[in-house]
Structure 1
Amino acid sequence: MTDQDRNPSDREGGTALKRAISGKLLYVFVLGDVLGAGIYALIGEVAGEVGGAVWVPLLVALALAMLTAASYAELVTKYPRAGGAAVFAERAFGVPLVSFLVGFCMLAAGVTSAAGLALAFSGDYLTVFLDVPAVPAAVVFLVLVGLLNARGVQESMRANLVMTCVEVSGLVLVVVLGAIVLGRGDGDASRVTQFPEGVSAGSAVLAAAVLAYYSFVGFETSANMAEEVRDVRRVYPKALFGALLTAGAVYVLVGLAASVVLAPDELASSSGPLLAVVQASGVGIPDQVFSAIALVAVANGALLTMIMASRLVYGLAEERLLPPVLSRVLPRRRTPWVAIVVTTVVAIGLTLTGDLATLATTVVLLLLFVFLSTNISVLVLRRDHVEHDHFTAPVVLPVLAIASCVLLLWQQEAGTWLRAAIMLAVGVVLYLLARVTRTSTAETPGR
């Protein structure tokens, strides 16, 4: 039997997909997913919670993200054809509704994240070029993203590399400017150890860590690349942990630089906090240059997130886990137009329900459910032995990861829980509608 005669799943080491992603490209992919939009938008909100010690919750958030990353490293290398947290949940629990809700949490988090990024896009960074009200600008931005999505936007690893370089350049610039300000004696290094008065340091760090955690999410999407990575069992853990550590180092340095240059209240009062740092440095960099970098980072994050969300809706509809109407595509463009319209409308609605910090904590809450499921799954699946070698996390790591998820969930406010509960309730209703549709279709004569 020739290679052409074999089942496609037998090729390329057990997959029909081409294994074209090296360890270095995977590292860049993960780094590009983690770096960028979150830190550009949220460092001011973090400063509002923790004062000048912005770097502390960023470091705590990195440590918490690394715990869950260890569970992803084990499951992806153990089941290299798995499609992410929903598939891990299916393997571990065997309950379709649970698996669906894990996937739906990913979807809801993506749409909510796009809404938050739209608000970040329409803030001080955009004001440098165009002075317009924030919410209407966010709505227009999301409509434009939806139109681009419907047109058929395709992202490649090279494009991701370019965008990552743009995003990193802005963050490195902030670090360099912080060093320049400190070197000439204009900065205040004492601020980096100052916490808000009247609040315990522990409470301030935990509250800020919930926001800072948003800056590290994105690494979980790399689980979907497993079938396209060469030697995934060897390179995936290195790329995952390496990218997270790199992002964490950059974030900590940015946090230190921002605190040296500006007081916490000045950072917190700006919707473009890193632009405020660049302006306060007095180096003479045009506002338009840095604002353009920030807008590219935020817009790219929102666009990629909405592409992911609409394709996830389309895929769930194709599997009849969501109503079939959501799988309709444009005849010429072959893009899922109904899914794009629905996700865009939902994102627009979410921009009207809260500010950036509120939406960011909602994203974190939804993803914490996903991470909690994955961390439990890695322990449940320890009894499932496979023949090949794979990364194995020390058992204490998923246990600590579960505890960290519970801790961060405990920090969420009632309004955030309510918003997430409404989204999950909508998901359950859609799931039940899809089941009714499948049942009625199966019972129809001639089908």
Structure 2
Amino acid sequence: MLFWRVKPLDHILATAEKKSLHRQLGPIQLTLLGVGAVIGTGIFVLTAEAAQKSGPAMMIAFVIAAVVCGLAALAYAELASMVPVSGSAYTYTYGVMGEVIAWIVGWALVLEYAIGATAVCVGWSGYVNGLLNSGIFGLVAPGSLSLPTWLQTGYFSGGGFNLLAFLIGVAVTWLLVIGTSKSAKVNAVLVAIKIIALTAFIALALPAVQSSNMHPFMPTGWGSPTGGVGVLGAAASIFFAYVGFDAVSTAAEETKNPNRNIPIGLMGALGICTIFYLLVGYGAAGSVGAQPLFGADGVALDPGSPAMTAACALAANADKLVCSHEPLAHVIRLLGFAQVGNLIALAAVLALPSVILMMMFGQTRIFFTMSRDGLLPEMLSRIHPRFHTPHVVTVITGIVVAICAALFPVGKLADTSNAGTLLAFAMVSIGVLMLRRVQPNRPRPFRTPMAWIVCPLAVLGCALLFVNLSWVAKSVFVVWGVIGLVFYLLYGKRRSYLAPGNQEPEGDAHLEQPPKFHEGPDPGP
């Protein structure tokens, strides 16, 4: 029953074959594509979160997260090259493991995309509030433009209603409904802004490093049985800083000599980003210190919790890196470069909305694809008559993103997003091995090297990071999964277009409906 209703890959590919893409991307283009997709919210926002969980040892956390990402990326690339169609890991697992697993993965991807977008909204608001509080480059008196404190952070962070996070979520939703998207030139400019900002940070922070700030190097150890702290807990959180690397994998259909160039692009992008992240982490920890705050019981406080907010409100902790909502700008300001710090904050303000847009775009397209398969209500795949966008699912997604951004802390949101991502990557890694067994002769434009070593290691790495997520993230993941399975049993299982007697509705040709399928026997694992 587990591996049933498998949608044949040949049928999934039918739509893609009608629109084959020209192979034009080389290793340099792929590497730059990956760098642009990866560098974003994680490093600009979660540096403080990682410091609170592991102190200066957050540099080790960056490496651990990069290794797990690299293993998963190699597995992801094989399926992406074989099934170069929309739907991401949901589509891959539908064609390999069947409908039940595909549903679980698609449902989990809500956490990756929607909650990930929510985390970016919160991170963006932290930098905007920082600019307002500092007086926007000295144009006005510091604090004169500040929002009331209770409007700067969410309720579950010890505040009230994060107004700016809510507003950016609404604004991006509106842009997606009317069909506005960024061009390649605009994207290139935003990537350049991010790289320049990080380079400026490194250039100013590294000369200020003092070895005394690096001790103790690992104040919270490797981790705890419940997860959420230590180096492994920081790695589980900082994994969010690498999400986006799969953009290289999904470009397999447009890549020249993919067997050679995709590994170069993947490893090149992850390598460059990891070096940037290590230098940023070293500069931040070594220049102003990155020691965590501890409670009366001697345990590191939970980032984003009301207890952490109360500790950060004390005058003695006001300048601590772990208390900042805009850590990179905060470090540079502490080093005496106030205007450069403001420019770094401005770079984050300009670049992060594009990340929100792409994450919400990905979420709406996942739901759109699931709706076309009959697993979700048909109304979610309705197209706006004027804007030609899936407006219903976009508005629903946007409302959820905006409200969650207004209430929850960035760290908890990022951890919850990682939970869904880790499950999807683990399933993709397993799917590669299953296809190697059941369809060994199917053309593979890219083959995962040493797949029977790389893929199991990817699964183990994902499991290790998942175990070390915060208990809140794991609890939300389990509850969300149960809700999803109940919905599937009550609705999706009966309404699926692969169910006996069902077929896709006629009409709406502009939706590019896939061919009709009928349920076949369980092919087994």
Shorter-chain TM-score: what band?
A: 0.7 to 0.9
One-letter amino acid of the structure 2 residue matched with residue 74 of structure 1? E
1:72 aligned residue (70, 76, 93)? 76
Q: Cα gap change, 1:385/1:99 in structure 2, threshold over 3 Å: closer, same or farther?
A: same
Residues 168-247 of structure 1 aligned to structure 2 (within 5 Å): 168-181=195-208, 187-192=209-214, 194-195=216-217, 197=219, 199-201=220-222, 204-247=230-273
Shift of 1:442: 5.9
Shift of 1:314: 2.0
One-letter amino acid of the structure 1 residue matched with residue 56 of structure 2? G
One-letter amino acid of the structure 2 residue matched with residue 35 of structure 1? I
Structure 1: distance between partners of 2:445 and 2:380: 40
Structure 1: distance between partners of 2:61 and 2:48: 13
Contact 1:195–1:201, Cα closer than 8 Å, also in 2: no
- 2:414 aligned with 1:366: no
Which digits, 9 at most, give the CA deviation of each residue in 1:152-180, with x for residues without a partner? 12234333322211111111111111133
Structure 2: distance between partners of 1:87 and 1:310: 14
Structure 2: distance between partners of 1:390 and 1:119: 37
Structure 2: distance between partners of 1:435 and 1:229: 37
One-letter amino acid of the structure 2 residue matched with residue 396 of structure 1? I
Structure 1: distance between partners of 2:96 and 2:130: 49
Number of positions where the alignment pairs a residue of Structure 1 with one of Structure 2: 429
Structure 1: distance between partners of 2:355 and 2:426: 24
One-letter amino acid of the structure 1 residue matched with residue 39 of structure 2? L
Shift of 1:404: 1.3
Structure 1: distance between partners of 2:108 and 2:287: 38
Structure 1: distance between partners of 2:471 and 2:408: 13
Q: Cα gap change, 1:312/1:390 in structure 2, threshold over 3 Å: closer, same or farther?
A: closer
Name the stretch that deviates more: 294-303 or 415-424.
415-424
Contact 2:214–2:285, Cα closer than 8 Å, also in 1: yes
Q: Cα gap change, 1:193/1:70 in structure 2, threshold over 3 Å: closer, same or farther?
A: farther
TM-score (norm 1): 0.87
Structure 2: distance between partners of 1:76 and 1:437: 27
Give the corresponding residue for 2:146.
Answer: 131
Give the corresponding residue for 2:454.
Answer: 397
Give the corresponding residue for 2:366.
Answer: 312
Give the corresponding residue for 1:409.
Answer: 466
Contact 2:78–2:445, Cα closer than 8 Å, also in 1: no
Shift of 1:283: 3.5
Identity %: 25
Shift of 1:359: 0.8
- 2:436 aligned with 1:433: no
Structure 2: distance between partners of 1:401 and 1:428: 25
1:27 aligned residue (27, 31, 34)? 31
Give the corresponding residue for 1:385.
Answer: 440
Contact 1:25–1:157, Cα closer than 8 Å, also in 2: no
Q: Cα gap change, 1:352/1:416 in structure 2, threshold over 3 Å: closer, same or farther?
A: farther
Instruction: Show structure 1 runs of 5+ residues with no match.
Output: 1-8, 182-186
- 2:115 aligned with 1:112: yes
2:327 aligned residue (273, 281, 303)? 273
Shift of 1:208: 0.9
Structure 2: distance between partners of 1:213 and 1:142: 23
Which digits, 9 at most, give the CA deviation of each residue in 1:8-36, with x for residues without a partner? x8999x56233265123332222111111
2:92 aligned residue (88, 91, 104)? 88
Which digits, 9 at most, give the CA deviation of each residue in 1:121-157, with x for residues without a partner? 1114433135222212211111111111112122343
Shift of 1:217: 1.4
Give the corresponding residue for 2:103.
Answer: 100
Shift of 1:430: 4.7
- 2:402 aligned with 1:348: yes
Name the stretch that deviates more: 382-391 or 340-349.
382-391
Which digits, 9 at most, give the CA deviation of each residue in 1:247-285, with x for residues without a partner? 111111110111122121511100000011111222453
Contact 2:380–2:393, Cα closer than 8 Å, also in 1: yes
Contact 2:44–2:327, Cα closer than 8 Å, also in 1: yes
Q: Cα gap change, 1:82/1:330 in structure 2, threshold over 3 Å: closer, same or farther?
A: closer
Name the stretch that deviates more: 202-211 or 44-53.
202-211
Q: Cα gap change, 1:11/1:412 in structure 2, threshold over 3 Å: closer, same or farther?
A: closer
Residues 160-175 of structure 1 aligned to structure 2 (within 5 Å): 160-175=187-202
Structure 1: distance between partners of 2:259 and 2:59: 33
Name the stretch that deviates more: 48-57 or 245-254.
48-57
Contact 2:78–2:432, Cα closer than 8 Å, also in 1: yes
1:327 aligned residue (369, 373, 381)? 381
Q: Cα gap change, 1:151/1:388 in structure 2, threshold over 3 Å: closer, same or farther?
A: closer
Which digits, 9 at most, give the CA deviation of each residue in 1:277-331, with x for residues without a partner? 1112224534432211011232221111112212222222223221111112221
Contact 1:47–1:54, Cα closer than 8 Å, also in 2: yes
Shift of 1:106: 1.9
Structure 2: distance between partners of 1:403 and 1:256: 28
SS in 2 for 1:52: helix
Shift of 1:441: 12
Instruction: Show structure 2 runs of 5+ residues with no match.
Output: 1-12, 133-144, 153-161, 225-229, 292-319, 507-525
Structure 1: distance between partners of 2:445 and 2:392: 43
Contact 1:123–1:272, Cα closer than 8 Å, also in 2: yes
Contact 1:128–1:287, Cα closer than 8 Å, also in 2: no
SS in 1 for 2:242: coil
Give the corresponding residue for 1:337.
Answer: 391
Q: Greater share of helix residues, 1 or 2? A: 1
Structure 2: distance between partners of 1:41 and 1:396: 34
Name the stretch that deviates more: 326-335 or 281-290.
281-290
Give the corresponding residue for 1:56.
Answer: 60
Name the stretch that deviates more: 258-267 or 422-431.
422-431
TM-score (norm 2): 0.75
One-letter amino acid of the structure 2 residue matched with residue 305 of structure 1? M
Structure 1: distance between partners of 2:444 and 2:389: 38
Contact 2:118–2:402, Cα closer than 8 Å, also in 1: yes
